Amino acid sequence: MRKKAILMSVLMASCLATHAEDDYEEGFLTSYLNHYLERAMQKDSVNSPNDENPKYGRHLSNFMSAPKFGGHIIAKYSYSDLKGSHGGDGFDARQVRAHVTGTILNDFKYRVQIELKGTPSMRDYTLEWTHWDEFHIKLGQFKRGFSYENPIGPWGAEIGEFSQITRKFCATGTSDYSGETAQTGRDIGIQVSGDILPVGTDHHRLFRYQAAIHNGNGQDTKDNNGKKDFIGSIHIQPIKDLYLGFFGWDGNYAKDNVTVDRKRWSVGANYVHKDWTVRAEYAHHKGHRLSDYDAATNTWTGKAKADAWYMMVGIPVTQWFKTFLKYDVYRGDYTNSTATSIYSFCNNFNLHRNLVFQLQYNYVNDRSNPADKNHNEIWTEIWVRF
């Protein structure tokens, strides 16, 4: 029985790494802590003959994996020749994060992630029931499931910055089109998801679905208008690792007694196979900005529409070197005169699973800025898991 318990612990830990949507991986230092905790729990565990079918009870202390700790640091240097930018932001620590994950009673997965840069703040805190592949249910604060890119963690995004779809329609890194304060694309709510209908000789799942209800006000923020945001998606996997998806978002955002609609949809394709990455998406938004409202006259301005799209390909050159090309467009008023186009060339040097160097060049054409429509950017980043 003890060998079986050890095997179960190892399998549960590996499953966490495989299914984590935000790169919950151990690093240089935390791997030693995790191995120590696993050995300690294996030594102290007392198993009954009915290991596979635990009986629920408040005094039950067995049937849980060792907590798995991890963390990462992302440091950045950025240069820009945009007029008035004074050469760009210079040196910056983008993220300093720590997390812990684990399972209880085999079927319940918990995750907690904290941002340590500046004033410590919560990022993720979830409890997810995962007994069946066909039906998961998750509670807590987590990434909004809109677009293929937003749920991806920083280690999986591969380009130094998320696309304008993710930034403008999920409030990731910049303020949302509607006026929601810049955050990390998260919200508080409940979500159901699953993969169904295995097909083909490899038995890959043909359909994936996801549906969530959120407060609508972003991370660490309670509801303030009694309304909720509904976000859902449907995906088809015709061949293994190729996903074709449709996303929908019906909600609103309220601040200072002003409420604006967020009616959004997106279509996209995502293919990650044998180190190749190909991803493309288009998103459309309908609804005003908070800034469109004039309280003095009780009137609205603006077109109340916006859209964005991007295409990206990642080409493996060697086992440790991969290059990316990306074309990224955002139209703030649904017109070409308000389009911001970014052409990116990014090189990733994956010297170790816990150490990545990145060099990126961006050519930016911003038609909404007539004073300086075109400018160049150079970014360098270092990614370390500790």
Q: pLDDT for 132-143, tens place per residue?
A: 999 999 999 999
Can you say whether the dihedral through the CA atoms of 244, 275, 353, 6 is positive or negative? positive
Could you tell me whether strands 276-286 and 321-331 are parallel, antiparallel, or unpaired per DSSP bridges?
Answer: unpaired
In this predicted structure, what is the pLDDT of residue 43? 62
In this predicted structure, what is the pLDDT of residue 281? 98
- Contact in structure between 242 and 254 (CB atoms under 8 Å): no
CA atoms within 13 A on the CB side of 85: 15
- Residues 6 or more apart whose Cβ sits within 8 Å of residue 8: 51, 106
Q: Which two tokens stand for residue 244?
A: 């074709």
Q: Which two tokens stand for residue 255?
A: 């601040």
pLDDT in tens, the chain (386 residues): 333 333 333 333 333 333 335 567 889 889 988 988 888 887 655 444 445 667 788 888 888 899 999 999 999 999 999 988 888 889 999 899 999 999 999 899 999 999 999 889 999 999 999 999 999 999 999 999 999 999 988 777 788 889 999 999 999 988 999 999 999 999 999 999 999 999 999 999 999 999 999 999 999 999 988 899 999 999 999 999 999 999 999 999 999 889 999 999 999 999 999 999 999 999 999 999 999 999 999 999 999 999 999 999 999 999 999 999 999 999 999 999 999 999 999 999 999 999 999 999 999 999 988 888 999 999 999 999 99
Q: Which two tokens stand for residue 175?
A: 């303020």
- In whole angstroms, give the CA distance from residue 88 to residue 334: 28
- In whole angstroms, give the CA distance from residue 386 to residue 383: 10
Structural domains present in the chain: 71-385 (2.40.160.10)
- In whole angstroms, give the CA distance from residue 105 to residue 61: 10
Q: Within 10 A of 10 (CB to CB), how many other CB atoms are there?
A: 14
Nearest to 363 by CA among 341, 338, 348: 341
